[in-house]
Amino acid sequence: MLTLAVIVLLWPQLTQGSDSLPVKVANAAVIGKLGSSVVLPCWLDPSLDISNMEIRWYRPHKFGKPVLFYRDHKVTTDLQEESYINRSALALREPQSAGLKVGDLSLRLDNLNTDDGGIFHCFVSGVSGYGSAATTLNILVQGSSPVLSVQFKDDFLNVSCSSCGWQPQPRIEWKSNRNTPFRPGGLVYSQAENKLTCVQSWALLSPSFHEVSCSLFITKGDERESTVDIQTISRLMVPAEDGSGFWKALFAVALLAALAMIGVGVFLYGKYKTGYMQAKADEEDQRKDEEDQRKDEEDQRKDEEDQLTVCSKPSITDLRKHAVNITLNSSNVYPDVFINSNRNVVRDRASAAENNKGPGFPYYLSVCGINSFTSGCAYWEVKLTAPSTKPKKSWLIGVTKASHYLNNDKNDLTPSKGFWFLCSDEETGIHINTEPEISLPVNPSLEVVGVFLDYEKGELSFYNAKKDVHLFTMKTKFQGEIVPFFNPGIGDKAPLTINLIESITESRGESAENASA
């Protein structure tokens, strides 16, 4: 028995350099994607019927624990390494191959993981001899879609692009308006705990830029790309109050005053120049033409407004005319979620922190409202603070299709699958679940978020309701019933509270008075 064990352990070394069967493998490394299947080609040349022989695929130094073991006309799992059970099989290296009859002993691996990368030995033996060869499998792991974030820096916008979960290291490409490549300001690679690569790059851009895209790829044609509209984002930007604003304003006023004085001097000089009267007449005609054009444009704008049945949203006061009071649906919620008796407050229980210690946002804590919308406009407000507490850092507010089931898989919570929301967590800050995801350059300490739904226009808008500031509008095409949904996150002292909007109660009071009158 001991002799047999020694032979098994030393067999690769004993047979090295003494092969009598011509085993061939691919010249280059085989590429396989994480989670997919791959075939490692291995064959005899010239061909030979090996259906009566022994076939063994194994990793380095694991001859006795093969990836696949074929003997007596069947694949057996008696010696097989446990991690490859139900994941390995003999395969054809090309569709027209006759398999073992022509010496094709290729291996198929399913559900690839990162540990599968490396060297595989292909070995065959029989009465006519033996042969072996080694091939390499590289596991290609595509990381997450890059997340773009924008920050104000002096008179420029610092756009950063970050993504994790790559293997091998990806290449990065920046483009303006999807066509013109440009070099970023910086690029940093790092390794995460799972040994996969993270990448972060940034570019300092003028606000005059329009659309900017960042794409990551290992092979061309298989990119992960994100795009941001600089013009839209720059309108949301408010530079920090560092004291420079006063001097910039003072300089602007002085410059305008100087330009005005120059203009007056030119005007007085030109007044007494030959041809002044003719120039004045021409100027008067031009002014009348401009007034007529402005009047035509104003009339056209009014006509267009009369034709559109849109819900106005110029201010929070006007938005509250479309207010609805949302009631939370307390049925079918997780035990880690607490909803008060009035069903307008939701928060995490103490057990939530114990049951969700891993990274990532706890999407499973989400709850829906009982209100549903199939037309018209609706507005509601969500408070993210409470007396003597700081504003919440972890929360989610949005809408979803009424028929959808909420789960904890972020990949299932996308607009294309019927979810639209604004979310905040300590890892990524405040972001929109657009495809790709966009981080918003707003103050993270939001206290009241206003949500405005325009079903017909397919718009979902978010507001800083306390400061009457529009944050972002998502555009889509709603179909079927849409319901609000919320998530209180984990670890904040403040709960998530749906505000009772006063305009609703006031209008109800007026209706009651009119009825009694």
Q: What is the pLDDT of residue 299?
A: 55
Pick the CATH number of 316-506 from 2.40.30.60, 3.40.50.1000, 3.30.1780.10, 2.60.120.920: 2.60.120.920
Confidence of residue 59 (pLDDT cuts 50, 70, 90): very high
User: Which architecture, in CATH terms, is 15-140?
Assistant: Sandwich (2.60)
118, amino acid identity: G
Residues 394, 396, 398, CA angle at the centre, nearest 5°? 165
Please tell me the distance from the alpha carbon of residue 284 to that of residue 28, in angstroms, as a whole number.
Answer: 79
**CATH placement of domain 147-235:** 2.60.40.10
| Mean pLDDT to the nearest integer, 258-278 | 45
104 pLDDT more than 90: yes
Average pLDDT, the chain: 79
Q: What is the pLDDT of residue 236?
A: 58
Kind of pairing, strands 469-475 and 224-229? unpaired
Q: What is the pLDDT of residue 315?
A: 83
393, amino acid identity: K
Confidence of residue 243 (pLDDT cuts 50, 70, 90): very low
- pLDDT per residue as tens digits for the range 395-453: 999 999 987 766 667 777 888 888 999 999 877 788 888 766 777 766 667 899 999 99
Segments making up each domain of the chain, as ranges? 15-140, 147-235, 316-506
Q: What is the pLDDT of residue 235?
A: 62
Give the range among 74-83, 279-288, 361-370 with minimum mean pLDDT: 279-288
- pLDDT per residue as tens digits for the range 128-144: 789 999 999 999 988 88
- pLDDT per residue as tens digits for the range 343-402: 999 999 988 888 877 677 888 899 999 999 999 999 999 999 999 888 888 999 999 998
Report whether 500 contacts 381 (CB < 8 A).
no
Instruction: Confirm whether 15-140 and 147-235 share one CATH topology.
Output: yes
Residue 279 DSSP SS3: helix
- pLDDT per residue as tens digits for the range 454-464: 999 999 999 99
